[in-house]
Amino acid sequence: MKLLISNGHLIDPAAPENTGMNVLIEDGKVTAWIKPTEQQPEVDDVFDASGLLVAPGFIDMHVHLREPGQEHKETIASGCAAAVAGGFTSVCPMPNTSPVNDNAAITRYMIEQGERAGLANVLPIGAITKSSDGSELAEMGEMKAAGAVAVSDDGRPVPNAGIMRRAMQYAKDFDLPVIDHCEDKSLSTGGVMHEGKMSLLLGLKGMPALAEEIDVVRDILIAKETGAHIHIAHVSTKGGIEAVRRAKNEGIIVTCEVTPHHFTLTDAAVEGYDTNTKMAPPLRSDEHLEAVIEGIKDGTIDAIASDHAPHHADEKALEYDRAPFGINGLETTVGLALTELVHRGVIGLERFVELCSSNPARILRLTDRGSLTAGYRADITILDPDLEWTYINSESRSKSRNSPFDGRKFRGCVVATIVGGRFVFKK
């Protein structure tokens, strides 16, 4: 099976010249770039990408697909359908399923469910500790052999510095990045939004920025001592970003990601008590949002990840205090990044592709993804950077509807998604 993507604007951060090349795909891999003026090969199918961007497939390194255990919120199949509609060719589900993904059997099960769905690649993240309860290390080597690409106790951060140190020593032996949800629960427990003027005004208990910052600093110190690779998940605070920036300058192996809601919304959105503005880490105040934008601009932030966290409508219908944390994000991430970052001039298209594809691939050691150089997997995201569209929650492919972006207009959208040389989504 030969496919030619012609007349598109190819954006590949790995390539020096990256415009106006046709991309030839054979048997699920990229085999060549051909100038449109040259003789074109005989192929089975041609996709005309005139006016469109052709990028290496986007990798969402932080999602919650809820299977096994909470299939009423999402399944791996429904989550992958939302992923490819959102332009993602690979997704990394966090291990906070039920049971927790802390062993090779569950890692394998998740991968198999992804293969059965036949949409996005599913690259699971294994737990750091058994049941993510923070006490005993999980079998990282076995999970890696089964296909896990990182370890994390996302949502239930390891409270004990001694365990975290052992975890990093162990993860380093297996060349696995440790993805760190930084939240000192002794500072944040009971909080439902960012602690500040807004939480006082609304009469809601706050989670201080310090809860994140203290853990970022602690775990960077442990990474420095152990030489392990630490990746800070959904960084949301000024102090957290500054700590990462300093650590990078010192040569510590640290990377970090940001979610679209943290570069788009502030805690002002909580006014009105819409439970679709409740997530952990919470929406922060202006100064933190500005620090996030600065981190995106100057390269401190390595990746954009949705932190897609579906919840059933009945749960989100509870009062603000009692509703669960988390929002959907797979189908709005690309629209938000293009609208809020690219079109506002914060970053260029090449940096956008780096944040969504080549950097996540590098962080997760996915040596055959994140570029469209010959020999790489034919995982491709095709975008119209200027097409305006409106996100309608009720049309989502996800099983859940908990997005604060219902009815929001975006500029820039996903036109087609190709996984392993096969179209899995076309608008």
Q: Which is nearer to Zn ion, 181 or 377 (CB)?
A: 181
Helix axis angle for 238-250 and 286-298, nearest 10°, is 30
Q: How far is CA 408 from the centre of its chain?
A: 21
Shortest Cβ 17–Zn ion spacing (Å): 39
- What's the CA gap between 409 and 202, in Å, rounded? 28
Shortest Cβ 63–Zn ion spacing (Å): 11
Closest residue to Zn ion, based on beta-carbon distance: 181
**Residue 161 parent element (H or E):** helix 161-173
**Phi, psi angle pair for 42, to nearest 5°:** -70, 125
Note the helical H segments in 130-237: 140-146, 161-173, 185-188, 197-202, 209-226
The neighbour count for residue 142, using CB atoms within 10 Å, is 16
Angle at the Cα of 81 (from 76 to 82), degrees rounded to 5?
100
Q: Return the residue matching tokens 């030969």.
A: 2
Shortest Cβ 309–Zn ion spacing (Å): 8
3-state secondary structure of 227: coil
Point out which residues pair with 217 in neighbouring strands.
none
Q: Which is nearer to Zn ion, 154 or 184 (CB)?
A: 154
The verdict on 67 binding Zn ion (CB under 5 A) reads no
3-state secondary structure of 212: helix
Q: Which is nearer to Zn ion, 207 or 418 (CB)?
A: 207
Q: Which is nearer to Zn ion, 154 or 384 (CB)?
A: 154
Shortest Cβ 106–Zn ion spacing (Å): 19
Subset of 131-190 contacting Zn ion (CB under 5 A): 154, 181
- Per rule CB under 5 A, count of chain residues that contact Zn ion: 2
Catalytic residue among 60, 215, 307, 384: 307
Shortest Cβ 158–Zn ion spacing (Å): 13
Q: Which is nearer to Zn ion, 181 or 284 (CB)?
A: 181
Residue 307 falls in the annotated catalytic set: yes
Binding site for Zn ion (CB under 5 A): 154, 181
Q: Which residues are catalytic?
A: 307
